[in-house]
């Protein structure tokens, strides 16, 4: 059981570079999420997809874009990376958008220099 | 604005020394309160969901309780393998809002 798979696990970018973080789940979940985790601030929601074909902004969407490619895959794109985007990024999925706990991936540690 | 506050930030216990972690929240129309465990370098792992005041859930040495303003995660006779960061989250209308976590260390 793979659960939620994120790639890459580590990445170093230069300011202004772009990249896409990949996420895939094999649990047939309807909803998928992207969070960032910074020391002392907890997990903050960037974007979510309540169901295939829909995406919505979360608490901190600026500087990011997402694509729900199909039911399994949800990608996060940084068009022009900034040092403030240095963080650990987690993808998560759940059976439904409300009232269910989330299954998280193991994270991507991103450093922007 | 929905807020979730966890205390203490860090807690050090001796093996077998029971204690409680607190999660206080302000949210309109609570749909659920969630507890997660996070080990270093890993993603959070779902533990419990509580839906209404008075509800309790148990798993091994952990018991979660819920009131109208806060939730407690009680840890009974903890072991070193219980060392982790415990996250609380609340869900109202839309997204799940997380607290900053309590880092628990259990010494043998």
Q: What is the mean pLDDT of chain A?
A: 95
Residue from B65, B36, B20, B106 nearest A42 by CA: B36
> How much is the pLDDT for B96?
86
- Identify all chain A residues contacting B64, using CB atoms and an 8 Å cutoff: none
Judge: A4–B45 Cβ closer than 8 Å, yes or no. no
> How much is the pLDDT for B107?
97
Quick check: A38 pLDDT over 90?
yes
Euclidean distance between CA atoms A110 and B15, whole angstroms: 36
> How much is the pLDDT for A12?
97
Q: What is the pLDDT averaged over residues A51-79?
A: 96
B44, B49, B101 member nearest A104 (Cβ): B44
Q: What is the mean pLDDT of chain B?
A: 94
List, as own/partner pairs, every contact residues A84-88 make where C-beta atoms lie below 8 angstroms and the sequence separation is at least 24, other chains included.
Answer: A84/A112, A85/A36, A85/A110, A85/A112, A86/A110, A86/A111, A86/A112, A87/A36, A87/A37, A87/A38, A88/A36, A88/A37, A88/A38
Euclidean distance between CA atoms A16 and A78, whole angstroms: 9
Chain A residue closest to B2 (CA)? A59
| Cβ under 8 Å to A: B residues 8-67 | 31-32, 34, 36, 41-47, 49, 51
Quick check: A109 pLDDT over 80?
yes
Quick check: A1 pLDDT over 70?
no
Judge: B43–A90 Cβ closer than 8 Å, yes or no. yes
Size of interface A-B (CB pairs under 8 A): 58
């Amino acid at each position: 059981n793979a659960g939620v798979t994120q790639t890459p696990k580590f990445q170093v970018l230069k300011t202004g570079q772009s990249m896409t973080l990949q996420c895939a789940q094999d649990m047939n979940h309807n909803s998928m999420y992207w969070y960032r985790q910074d020391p002392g601030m907890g997990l903050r929601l960037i974007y979510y997809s309540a169901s295939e074909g829909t995406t919505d902004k979360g608490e901190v969407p600026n500087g990011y874009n997402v694509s729900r490619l199909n039911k399994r895959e949800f990608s996060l794109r940084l068009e022009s990376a900034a040092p403030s985007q240095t963080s650990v990024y987690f993808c998560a999925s759940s059976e439904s958008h409300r009232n269910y706990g989330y299954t998280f991936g193991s994270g991507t540690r991103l450093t922007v220099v | 604005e929905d807020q979730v506050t966890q205390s203490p930030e860090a807690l050090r216990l001796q093996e077998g020394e029971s204690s409680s972690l607190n999660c206080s929240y302000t949210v309109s129309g609570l749909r659920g309160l969630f507890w997660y465990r996070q080990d270093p370098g890993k993603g959070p792992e779902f533990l419990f969901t509580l839906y209404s005041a008075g509800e309790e859930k148990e798993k091994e040495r952990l018991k979660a309780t819920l009131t109208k303003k806060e939730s407690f995660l009680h840890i009974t006779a903890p072991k070193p393998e219980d060392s982790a960061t415990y996250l609380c989250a609340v869900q109202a209308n839309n997204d799940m809002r997380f607290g900053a976590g309590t880092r628990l260390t259990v010494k043998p």
